[in-house]
Structure 1
Amino acid sequence: MLSKTTITIALDAMGGDHGPTVVLAGAQTALERHPDMRFVLFGQEDAVRPVLDAMPKLRERSVFHHCDVSIRMDDKPSQALRQGRYKSSMWKAIEAVKTGEADVAVSAGNTGALMAMAKFCLRTMANIERPAIAAIWPTLRGESIVLDVGATIGADSQQLIDFSVMGAAMSRALFQIERPTVGLLNIGVEEVKGQEDIREAGRLMKETPIDGLDYRGFVEGTDLGKGTVDVVVTEGFTGNIALKTAEGTARQIASYLRAAMTRTWLAKLGYILAKSAFDRLRDKMDPRKVNGGVFLGLNGVVIKSHGGSDAEGTAAAIDVAYAMAANGLLAKIESDLGRVYASEVSQPPGPDGAGPAQEVMP
């Protein structure tokens, strides 16, 4: 019999570039780390069953539901929502969170489709106009939270404040930081720089401190890697570019190192002598270790795993899902937002507020 502390993960087994083979292998790895976890799996039976039957421990801790439809990685969000609503593995995984069958949903599928379905199925929290995708960012100090990295294009001052509150709640849930430091990403640290919405958000947060976070002002792109603050807040267009640039730079540096270490026999000898140091560097730069974008601002927790992830990357995303559920992310965000919207820092949008958000396709 399962204990009351069991965390249940709804898993879209068909998501990503590799489907059930990689997704279930990642689930099995995550289960070894968290034996109290169980899974509700959704996918096409002929693809999932043979893989699951070869993993008896995972099968024992899982419930499987057949789904007729699998969302393709190149489907447009509107097309996926129209064709896959109510019957796709992606929708069913999200719906399991809504009905309480699972604590959190994980999918490596089409990002735009996942966000569209999550918004349609779970709806946004009270007072939240736009959700955000939060990413875990490796830094010189450890790890930070960066959001939004691709949910929507643009954000007004109130939305940036909402992102700050939600990011701080995630930092407390994931890293157990009692009062996370927060910075707004800008083109300079001076208060006169940047777009009007960023300056206005900074002014409001400075004049009316928010419980649960320590606002440190503007930060620049160079501060992302330094770990200057625990939470970096920006809008989705800028955040997505920053994320992709960082991932590409990490791969570029890794490629340079491999080339340098194999160029001459002396270089090869040096690599052998310093192998442990290079292994630590490779582990630190491995994007699989920080896989798992968290959808914030919805009435339920959804985790986006990278579509090209291998089993280790998938396991990392499931680790994040486990931590978010175990540490009560949703309750923390609801509590923090309640306090903010009861204070003067919050200025609810009027009847002429922003229109529907546009989606960034990571």
Structure 2
Amino acid sequence: MDVLISGASMAGLSAAHWFARLGHRVTVVERANGLRPGGAPIDVRGRAIGTAQRMGILPRIEEEKVRILEPGPVLDGAGAQVATLDLRWFANETEADVEITRDRLNRILLDAIPKDVVFRFRTSIASLEDAHAGVRVAFTDGQHGRYDLVVGADGLHSNVRKLAFGPEKDYVRHFGHYVALVDLPDDRDWQRAMLSVPGLTIAVRDAGDGPQAMMLVASPELAYDYRDLDAQRRMIDRFLSRVDAWQVPALRAAFRDPAAEGFYFDSVSQTHMPSWTRGRVAVIGDAGHCAALLSGMGTTLAMVAAETLATTWSEHEGDLAAASPTYHQRLRPYVEQCQAFAHQGAPIMVPATQQALDERNASFRACAATFGT
């Protein structure tokens, strides 16, 4: 059968592997001109370890994982060290959990996809019509096609979800924070550390592919065009203007630089949908059940959902309506569990008050004492 996947990141690449492996003809469309580079390091955790093992990619993920040498300094608003942090104290579900850079995992997933999968970059879906004979699709490059299944793996602002299920506002819930990332220039030595003041965390780390800055800030939902990068840079600059210590002035300059690579800004949000299927269309990954960055479970959910959808749909011989109850039964409890993790991650990463910040730093010091670091 013919399967169309929109989006070529973790969810889409994983889905391409599984559907092709199960004998289907797969086409992947991606609006960008290739795999999108950059992004924060991500985790392959819990159930995704088994998925990666069944895909045959777990040994390579282990080889290319982020290797943490020592806990990083935690700084106060004046730049003074008040604690140390190793996220392994809090984040891992099992001892087998792996952190890896997004670029490395994307390459690993791409290499695991059968060669007969067709990739079409610089195009996306313009319209969908779920008719009796299949889903008729018009693309932005003027081409047309008919597919037995369309899978939206196109992220938080999913085009497929909008076309098949309705507007974003019906499903995406702002989680009270925004995140920004940027690759840092190599014209200076950057200190690896995390600085926190109430409602704002700024961090620098190098996961093996060069230094990267991250900002997490508490904020009500803001009205802005998520494709207007200049407006986003101005918003980030206003958030960072609260702090003038440590490397923050240089980090502000890096975020302002329109030539900087790896720039990313978006809301920390969750996607909640009563059903991830409609007709012959399904959504997976952030498009269907984003757990929010603060959960640490986004990649895991993407990989697990891709395998679950492909195997369940194939078990029901391409009948998505028949497969849907089983698919939701298999996946829904895990999605709810993963989304709940975000409520645990927020107080650790972005304490809202000075008291909460002091208590968090005290817990970091206690962990360091317990683990002998």
Into which bin does the TM-score normalised by the smaller protein fall? under 0.3
- Quick check: which one's strand share is greater? 2
Q: What is the TM-score with the length of structure 2 in the denominator?
A: 0.25
